[in-house]
Amino acid sequence: MRKNVVIIGGGPSGLLLSRLLSIDGIDNIVLEKQSEEHVMGRIRAGVLESGTIEMLKKAGVSDRLEKEGFNHDGIQLSFKNHGFRINLKQLTNKHVTVYGQTEVTKDLYSKIKKENGDIINNAEDVLPQDVHTDAPFVTFKKDGVEKKIKCDLVAGCDGFHGISRTIIPKAIIKSFERKYPFGWLGILSETPPVSEELIYANHGNGFALASMRNENLSRYYIQTPLNEKIENWTDQKFWDELKKRLPTEAADTIVTGSSIEKSIAPLRSFVCEPMSWKKLFLVGDAAHIVPPTGAKGLNLAVSDVYYLHDALKKYYQSQTNEGLNKYSYNALSRVWKAIRFSWWMTTTFHKFPEQSSFDQRIQDSEIEYLENSVASQKVLAENYVGLPY
């Protein structure tokens, strides 16, 4: 078998890249190690930037999003149980859209299958080979049978634990990482959201976030120590602690109920450089991770797809390598800006183990300044809705 591009990983970034390449007549195939059912079962949040929406429109998969997504013109911030609003629309003339990453994946799968695109699920032992030569290929096993796909280029969209990044020689690749000394305990409940917009709360006990999936499905998080155990948290204990951290108005009106999902997630910032080597190009979590505080994970993956798709289109339609040669530089420029913003949101709204009363006062002053400074609000708003590609 031969394809122009082999895409390793059938998450939203791999599927989006596949769809865009197919629209341009560039032959490609997606190799996903998990079943389609498993991929569809991954529950992920989704706060989509305007640039991400435009990319999904370009891919022809925005119909359901436009009907079911929730456009948010602002976000709520809180400190010392006092809340205030950042008007994203007024400050940037843009908004964000709440639409689950799982739904984005479903839309892409549906469109690719309808258009007879190539996706191989349950692809085992996927391995890109000879990517440093002019004859790269990818091997994998399907139903116990080893297969080989010859190609021009390989896109590694297989996440932080995928094989693609490990192919780059250690002497060439450099990693930057910050592990945060806390996690997020999150619950999903069949209750109406406490607010029409997301609430990010700084509190002496730790960070809290009020989010939503739809009008009757809410997602809430509280900061916990890394070694915390889920079994230590009954639903009632969670709700009591969440109310302590939210702004008073939200705490007084929140509707509580039984959780239908409960999990603890660690937080980290990670970037590898470069994001390409010879005929291999890394996309999304394969190259970078951001803490969820700034809502940048999926959006960064989509911006990678933007740069790589543009480069591949020029490569095949205009026979120029310039875009491919600049892919890593262009992608990393935007990645590091998002890493900085997510780091700022994380360090401003979370309580660190060694944090003193002085440090807490600095956080309070930072957020109070934000409340009263239009210039500061505009910086936050520009980053939150997404910097331009």
Residue 111 falls in the annotated catalytic set = no
Compute the CA torsion angle 235, 241, 245, 247 (nearest 10 deg): 60
Residue showing tokens 């970037």:
271
pLDDT of residue 146: 96
In whole angstroms, give the CA distance from residue 244 to residue 134. Answer: 60
Identify the active-site residue in 33, 292, 307, 315: 292
The pairing of beta strand 124-129 with beta strand 153-156: unpaired
Mean predicted confidence (pLDDT) in 314-334: 96
Residue 384 falls in the annotated catalytic set = yes
Residue 220 falls in the annotated catalytic set = no
Mean pLDDT of the chain, nearest integer:
95
Mean predicted confidence (pLDDT) in 206-230: 93
pLDDT(38) > 90 = no
pLDDT of residue 366: 96
pLDDT of residue 203: 96
Q: How far is CA 375 from CA 71, 87, 334, 366, in A?
A: 24, 12, 22, 13
Identify the active-site residue in 72, 279, 309, 350: 72
DSSP 291: -
327-384 pLDDT per residue, tens? 999 999 999 999 999 999 999 999 999 999 999 999 999 999 999 999 999 999 999 9
276-296 pLDDT per residue, tens? 999 999 999 999 999 999 899
Q: What percent of the chain has pLDDT over 70?
A: 99
In whole angstroms, give the CA distance from residue 8 to residue 164. Answer: 8
Domains within the chain, CATH numbers bracketed: 5-71+97-176+268-345 (3.50.50.60), 180-267+352-385 (3.30.9.10)
pLDDT(119) > 70 = yes
pLDDT of residue 257: 94
Residue showing tokens 């435009």:
54
pLDDT of residue 43: 64
Phi, psi of 26 (to 5 degrees): -95, 115
**50-58 and 12-23 helices cross at what angle (nearest 10)?**
50
Spatial neighbors of 14 by CB under 8 A, at least 6 apart, are 7, 8, 30, 32, 155, 157, 158, 283
In whole angstroms, give the CA distance from residue 3 to residue 355. Answer: 54
Residue 200 falls in the annotated catalytic set = yes
In whole angstroms, give the CA distance from residue 297 to residue 290. Answer: 6
In whole angstroms, give the CA distance from residue 346 to residue 353. Answer: 14
Res. 45 pLDDT band, cuts 50 70 90:
low
Res. 37 pLDDT band, cuts 50 70 90:
confident
Instruction: Give the number of other CB atoms < 10 A from CB of residue 234.
Output: 11
pLDDT of residue 178: 96
In whole angstroms, give the CA distance from residue 173 to residue 177. Answer: 13
Identify the active-site residue in 99, 180, 200, 316: 200
pLDDT of residue 213: 82
pLDDT(164) > 70 = yes
pLDDT of residue 209: 97
Res. 258 pLDDT band, cuts 50 70 90:
very high
Residue 266 falls in the annotated catalytic set = no
Task: Please indicate whether residue 385 or residue 35 has the higher confidence score (pLDDT).
Answer: 385
